[in-house]
Amino acid sequence: DQQVKQNSPSLSVQEGRISILNCDYTNSMFDYFLWYKKYPAEGPTFLISISSIKDKNEDGRFTVFLNKSAKHLSLHIVPSQPGDSAVYFCAAHWRSALNFGKGTSLLVTP
Amino acid sequence: KAGVTQTPRYLIKTRGQQVTLSCSPISGHRSVSWYQQTPGQGLQFLFEYFSETQRNKGNFPGRFSGRQFSNSRSEMNVSTLELGDSALYLCASSSDLSGRAGTQYFGPGTRLTVL
């Protein structure tokens, strides 16, 4: 039973534009949400997080938005750079466990 | 601070064998979690340890087990290996101050291949 869903397997964006990655969840008990960036055969790298009591968190080019009523999370990357090309995972925390989406592969083209 | 380290990085075993993977958390982190990544199922939670106690366990068979030592280092063991156990096994550590949700930082993973 997939409690965290990333419905777009891939996304292509031009350099300099905004990348928007989306994530939906079903469990209202999740208390913390995170975005990770991952390259093949490597561990996920933490990007940004947000507590369930917040609706926005910003860190440099990365902003995460949380809409609890819609159970929806999004990651905005502005401006997008070719080095941002990777697979991005949304994760939701509950009882010491992270529940991951299946990932969105982002390609930023020059 | 050094990051999460995992050994070995690569492992090849045959069906029926058992395997032990090791994880050293970031210094000062007392929570260690294990995840399995496969192409079909994605990243799935195996179990989490805090101060040598398993606090949560994912939906995996009893062949998957783990433990944590007093220095917070952790091991996971898979017995009677099956072909479907081939995966990238990831360890993550967190400071988990006072039981609050903390960011989990991942190691590079151990790639297990079962033949």
pLDDT of residue B66: 97
Q: How confident is the model at residue A32 (pLDDT cuts 50, 70, 90)?
A: very high
The predicted model gives A27-55 an average pLDDT of 94
Distance from the A44 Cα atom to the nearest Cα atom in chain B, whole angstroms: 6
A97 to chain B: which residues are within 8 Å by CB? 33, 45, 48, 56, 58
Using the predicted structure, report yes or no on whether residue B98 has a pLDDT greater than 90: no
Residue of B nearest to A98 (CA): B45
pLDDT one-digit tens code per residue, A91-107: 999 988 999 999 999 99
Cis bond upstream, residue B8 (ω within 30): yes
DSSP helix/strand/coil, B83: helix
Using the predicted structure, report yes or no on whether residue B97 has a pLDDT greater than 70: no
The pair of structure tokens assigned to A15 is 């350099």
pLDDT one-digit tens code per residue, A52-81: 999 999 999 999 999 999 999 999 999 999
Distance from the A81 Cα atom to the nearest Cα atom in chain B, whole angstroms: 24
Q: How confident is the model at residue B45 (pLDDT cuts 50, 70, 90)?
A: very high
CA-to-CA distance for A57 and A60, rounded, in angstroms? 10
B42 to chain A: which residues are within 8 Å by CB? 100-103
Q: Measured between CB atoms, does B55 come within 8 Å of chain A?
A: yes
The predicted model gives B29-45 an average pLDDT of 94
Q: How confident is the model at residue B6 (pLDDT cuts 50, 70, 90)?
A: very high
CA atoms within 13 A on the CB side of A16: 1
Distance from the A28 Cα atom to the nearest Cα atom in chain B, whole angstroms: 15
> Nearest Cβ partner of B33 from A34, A89, A96?
A96
Surface of B (65-94) touching A: CB under 8 A: 88, 90, 92
% of chain A at pLDDT higher than 90:
94
In the chain, the amino acid numbered B2 is: A
Average pLDDT taken over every residue of chain A: 96
Q: Measured between CB atoms, does A59 come within 8 Å of chain B?
A: no
pLDDT one-digit tens code per residue, B54-83: 999 999 999 999 999 999 999 999 999 999
C-alpha angle B33-B39-B24 in degrees, rounded to nearest 5: 25
Residue pair B31/B40 in contact by the 8 Å Cβ criterion: no
Strands (E) located in chain B: 5-7, 10-13, 19-24, 31-38, 42-50, 53-57, 64-68, 74-78, 87-94, 105-106, 110-114
Q: How confident is the model at residue B87 (pLDDT cuts 50, 70, 90)?
A: very high
The predicted model gives A20-46 an average pLDDT of 94
Hey, how many other C-beta atoms are within 10 angstroms of the C-beta on A109? 11
The predicted model gives B7-28 an average pLDDT of 97
**For residue B16, what are the contacts with CB-CB under 8 A and spacing of at least 6?**
B80, B81
